[in-house]
A and B are shown apart, each in its own frame.
Chain A
Amino acid sequence: MAGSDFLLELDAVTVRLGGRDVLSGADLAIARGEIIGVSGPNGAGKTTLLRVAANVLRPATGRRIGRPRLAYVPAAVDPPLLQAGGWLSGVRCVRRVPPSSVLEQLAFDGALDRPCRELSFGNLRKVLLADAFSSLADLIVIDEATEGLDSRGAAALVELMVEARGRGASVLFAEQQTQRMVGADRLVSVRHGNLVVDPLSGGEVTVSLRGPTAALSELTKGAEALGFRYIVERE
């Protein structure tokens, strides 16, 4: 495994919180242009894994190899005190594309000139995602990726991840439920702090698509483009 082939490698990473190992000896190599989905039950260590990858948490033991430019979307963020547009313009000086184009793609329907606290939870998530996907980041880390998103937003997120892969950026995202993991090249699970390769990886991946009829065509197109088998679950 040559170091240069990977954007980021976690080597035997252990994280201790409150005296117990939340993550234990985790190995994960993220290649350039790879989308990795992380699943696992509540408290399994998904967020901890993502925080280590995003370089916001230093492991107790083990190594984090690689210094990619990062964008991290945490699962929960209190609305920042600024207007949404002002926040987006302040977080990063240089961007790949204007965040407004990503917001449009995500079907953001809030007002950028209003304070973030006035946005709905879903629209605030879209602002955070727009920040990440409009950035120059090589690695985009998203916790609870589809949390708060409507079906259009969720479909657009898959498109954005695939576009990011196309330009050589990597995406590491976490979801509670495996059926939401549309778009991932590889799935890993975290169980009791241990990283295991998801049984779906390396084989044929079947995903469940559920949502309003209008959005299903976009979801099925996305699933087909990624080579997934899919089951449509009508609401």
Chain B
Amino acid sequence: MIAFNLRLAGRSMRWLGPALILMIWILATLSAPGPALANAGSLFLVLVGLTCWLTVTIGNVDDDGHRELLAAAIGSPARLHRSRAISAYLAANTVSAAGTLACLVATTEPTRPTAEIVVVGACVLMQLAATAVGVAIGTLLHRPVLRHAGVTLLLTAAALVGIILLPPVQFVLRALNDGRTTGVIALAAAGVIIALAAVTAASALADRRN
């Protein structure tokens, strides 16, 4: 079902918006290189929004009738919802890999070989954290849970601003700007936990949706 979800989303062409924004970010980063960790910090902000958009896109790719047909085939609406969240996470990480690569390529600071591993690891963890947080927001906001596009848009904007302004997130982003990786692992772990909780809650709501 995950491959099927991705094929449906691929055919819908609604991924074009997030992909274009990422491409613009990559081009901007390549044309004005900075330290890799600082790049990873700014990519985090972009990826949270993009993944959220992609998750909503994958969730809303079909009408109610088609979604119910698939839900019956897979067992329940909750299982379908989970499969779509996983699809979104995989798709987001596949697309985001280009961004992470750009973070590392567009670096201005020559780093020692030992530091390189830490930098690469931090960039990858920041990508995983961003996509997890994006899925967490998106999965709670797509149509099986929220039915009104306007409400979804407003809540998405509010959630994105809220996440970015959270003190722990600000702390990690500031550390990355200063060339330190403090809190990156904790942020990635927290992102995954938040995503799991959000997907569980959204699946329960999708199952109860009348």
Asked if B8 and A82 make an inter-chain contact with CB atoms under 8 angstroms apart, the answer reads yes
Question: CA–CA, A110 to B61, complex, Å?
Answer: 24
- Assuming A57-B210, A58-B208, is B65 touching A77 (CB within 8 A)? yes
Asked if B65 and A78 make an inter-chain contact with CB atoms under 8 angstroms apart, the answer reads yes
Interface size class of B (residues with CB under 8 A): 20 to 34
Question: CA–CA, A170 to B13, complex, Å?
Answer: 39
- Shortest B114–chain A CB gap in Å is 46
Q: Across the interface, which residues of B come within 8 angstroms of A135, CB to CB?
A: 73
Report if A214 contacts B (CB, 8 A): no
Q: Across the interface, which residues of B come within 8 angstroms of A75, CB to CB?
A: 65
Interface size for A (C-beta < 8 A) is 30
Closest to A72 in B: B72
Report if B77 contacts A (CB, 8 A): yes
- Shortest A185–chain B CB gap in Å is 22
- Shortest B70–chain A CB gap in Å is 7
Asked if B73 and A92 make an inter-chain contact with CB atoms under 8 angstroms apart, the answer reads yes
Asked if B69 and A74 make an inter-chain contact with CB atoms under 8 angstroms apart, the answer reads yes
Question: CA–CA, A199 to B2, complex, Å?
Answer: 46
Closest to A92 in B: B73
Q: How many A-B residue pairs have CB under 8 A?
A: 71
Asked if B210 and A77 make an inter-chain contact with CB atoms under 8 angstroms apart, the answer reads no
Closest to B64 in A: A74
- Shortest B78–chain A CB gap in Å is 9
B35-73: CB near A (< 8 Å → 1, else 0) gives: 000000000000000000000000001111110111111
Asked if A74 and B68 make an inter-chain contact with CB atoms under 8 angstroms apart, the answer reads yes
Report if A86 contacts B (CB, 8 A): yes
Asked if B72 and A77 make an inter-chain contact with CB atoms under 8 angstroms apart, the answer reads no
Asked if B68 and A72 make an inter-chain contact with CB atoms under 8 angstroms apart, the answer reads yes
Question: CA–CA, A51 to B75, complex, Å?
Answer: 13
Closest to A16 in B: B210
Asked if A17 and B68 make an inter-chain contact with CB atoms under 8 angstroms apart, the answer reads no
Q: Footprint of B on A, CB under 8 Å?
A: 15-17, 51, 54-58, 60, 70-78, 80-82, 86, 90-92, 128, 131, 135, 141
Q: Footprint of A on B, CB under 8 Å?
A: 3-4, 7-8, 11-12, 61-66, 68-73, 75-77, 207-208, 210
